[in-house]
Amino acid sequence: PGESETLRAIEVTLVVHDDIIPWRYPAKRELQFGEWQRNDILAGIFEPAMIDIDLAILLTKAREHSVALVGPAAEEFFDPVPEQDLFEALRETLKLWNSQPDWAGDERNVVLTLSRIWY
């Protein structure tokens, strides 16, 4: 999408089956693509696989709200994330915004992130 007024951006997170099943916290993601990474990706810069606390939140939301287009539903495919892991991921996420320099100028994305977590 870049500067497109008609196209919408997409975020894609890839995981390796054996890295998340059975579930363990924190989990590892293999690759993530998002609009915020566009310039780096166009320059050939890709993040390596890494531990990602957000996977506890993403997989919980996928199990609760997703619709499978092909294959099994997310709640059948992914193990449930224990509530304590979900709350730990939320606590760790909140630590990202401890002081004004952490969120100043990015208030919209902070509110959207928190809304996504609690939806």
Select which of 11, 47, 64, 107 is catalytic: 11
Strand, helix or coil for residue 29 = strand
DSSP assignment of the chain: -TT-SS-----EEE--HHHHSS--SS-EESEEE-GGGHHHHHTT--PPPEE-THHHHHHHHHHHH---SSSS-HHHHSPPPPHHHHHHHHHHHHGGGSSHHHHTT-HHHHHHHHHHHH-
The verdict on whether 47 is a catalytic residue reads no
User: Catalytic residue numbers?
Assistant: 11
